[in-house]
Structure 1
Amino acid sequence: MGKLRLKSDHRLLCGDSTNVNDVSRLMNGDKADLVFSDPPYNVAYQGGTEDKLTIQNDAMDADDYIAFMDAFFKRFRESVKESASLYICHASQWQLETELALRRAGFEIRNPIIWAKNCGAFGFARYKFQHEPIFYAHVKGQSDKWYGDLTQTTVWHEKKPAANRLHPTMKPVEIVQRALVNSSKRNDIVLDLFMGSGTTLIAAQTLGRRCYGMELDPVYADVVVIRWEQFTGKKAVRITDKTPDNAEVCQKVEV
């Protein structure tokens, strides 16, 4: 699909997270030390800003969504080191299916983590959602790396973004930073096959990690590039020597 963009030690491909060729092109023979990713929750979510932002692959029937998870978790397994940890954000409604898909791909759940937000969601539900679950997992039968201290708990209190104007399900940078500090070291590769607005990239940039990212939607892929450029003051460089001449080029948008 889209051409690779190289930004310092980071890589971004506008492509399909379930496609073995796209993921192989992104990884370029490397293996990731850590995964932090926020796949579509399959809840047909619409952003609360005036633009009412949406994301692709967020309104599938159950069988299609499970097949989708099986495909991208398999790509994750093929792309990580045996010592890698995974942090996978997911919807409470699909928690069982997400865990089973992780297990089928060769991962084990080490802990459920709860992102406790500063306020609940709007709506008419009797209990308003004020949290999101994150699976902390590792390769089955392997020992994953740990660099954190022994004070960590499974409840992470972080404020949600005041307004998600770049992406409807944007996560706070601090959530990703916490995972990176605990489960990676400087210059490690952090893989995210669902880049969205690029929060994993920004967290990796601040902590000296290398981010390898995939984004299916050309609009959001360009949001990632622009956000990184604005954050660092640098310009992204497009890789062209290893991509087909007829590959799509993401169009830049203003944010």
Structure 2
Amino acid sequence: MKSYYSDDLVTLYHGDSREITDWLAADVLVTDPPYGIGWKRHGGGVNKNRGDRHEGIVSDNDTSARDAALTVWGDRPGLVFGSFFAPAPPHRHLLVYRKPPDSGVLGSTTGWRRDLEPVYLTGPWPKRAARWSSLLETATRASGSPSSPAGRYGHPHAKPVDVMEQLIDACPPGVVAEPFAGSGSTLVAARNLGRRAIGVELDERYCETIATRLSQGAFDFGAVA
């Protein structure tokens, strides 16, 4: 199948990862899939960076797209972002991503912000001495500003590149697969670390965003403002 974008390290396909199978040739899965939380209903679907409405995340009404990808991926190493408000996939360890300080206000009624996301380690992982914290943090200081990943790339779940680099740097060696590429942070992080990666994205507007980020010819470290 013809790729949407390709360079020496990264190949991106436009389409449904349940129909495009090239990503299955990779060695480790690093993905930020639809969580099953129906994002459009959370916060009214408003993009607070531009004041317009966002149509939501495709296939986010349940976890079926994520689960289908994990089924065909099989018993191989994976890192899978999720939500504490949606069913978890089978996993062997749990990491926690702490979002920027202004995150998690919408939908919170308890006084505590919803500013944490689980990251599930799936499949077999090599045995190693414990040397990393299971708490992941970013140098990005805001999620709602125009300079944030969401503000810059128009995707409400855009992850900071520094977080994705932490995860990929700890992965077993080999090609990285991202069947739900979104704004492209996983692919950019892999490229920054000199690793090959294969991505698939269903929404063509985000394919265009990813191609622009990757074709800049310079390291994209994401916003830290």
Match of 2:160 in 1: 172
Distance of aligned partners of 1:125 and 1:158 in 2 relative to their CA distance in 1, 3 Å threshold: same
Match of 2:216 in 1: 230
Distance of aligned partners of 1:204 and 1:149 in 2 relative to their CA distance in 1, 3 Å threshold: farther
In structure 1, the residue corresponding to 2:170 is in which secondary structure?
A: helix
In structure 2, the residue corresponding to 1:129 is in which secondary structure?
A: coil
Match of 1:70 in 2: 67
Q: Shift of residue 2 of structure 1?
A: 7.4
Answering whether residue 115 of structure 2 is matched by residue 130 of structure 1, we say: yes
Match of 2:57 in 1: 55
Pairwise CA RMSD: 2.4
Mapped partners of 1:197, 1:66: distance in 2: 19
In structure 1, the residue corresponding to 2:189 is in which secondary structure?
A: helix
Mapped partners of 2:161, 2:180: distance in 1: 15
Gapped runs of 5+ residues in structure 1? 104-108, 234-255
Name the one with the larger strand percent: 1
1:85 to 54, 74, 77: 77
Answering whether residue 31 of structure 2 is matched by residue 37 of structure 1, we say: yes
> Does structure 2 retain, via aligned residues, the 8 Å contact 1:2–1:15?
no
Match of 2:136 in 1: 156
Q: Shift of residue 76 of structure 1?
A: 2.3
TM-score (norm: length of structure 1): 0.70
Distance of aligned partners of 1:197 and 1:38 in 2 relative to their CA distance in 1, 3 Å threshold: same
> Does structure 2 retain, via aligned residues, the 8 Å contact 1:35–1:191?
yes
Distance of aligned partners of 1:52 and 1:149 in 2 relative to their CA distance in 1, 3 Å threshold: farther
In structure 1, the residue corresponding to 2:109 is in which secondary structure?
A: coil
Mapped partners of 1:224, 1:157: distance in 2: 23
Larger Rg: 1
Match of 2:176 in 1: 190
Name the one with the larger helix percent: 1
Q: Shift of residue 150 of structure 1?
A: 3.2
For residues 205-216 of structure 1, the aligned pairs below 5 Å read: 205-216=191-202
Q: Percent identity over the alignment?
A: 22
Mapped partners of 2:160, 2:53: distance in 1: 19
> Does structure 1 retain, via aligned residues, the 8 Å contact 2:28–2:77?
yes
Q: Deviations over 1:97-153 (max 9, x none)?
A: 332xxx4xxxxx2211001224242235212112111101224xxxx346x763212
Structure 1 residues 125-134 or 203-212, which shifts more? 125-134
Q: Shift of residue 3 of structure 1?
A: 4.3
Mapped partners of 1:69, 1:197: distance in 2: 17
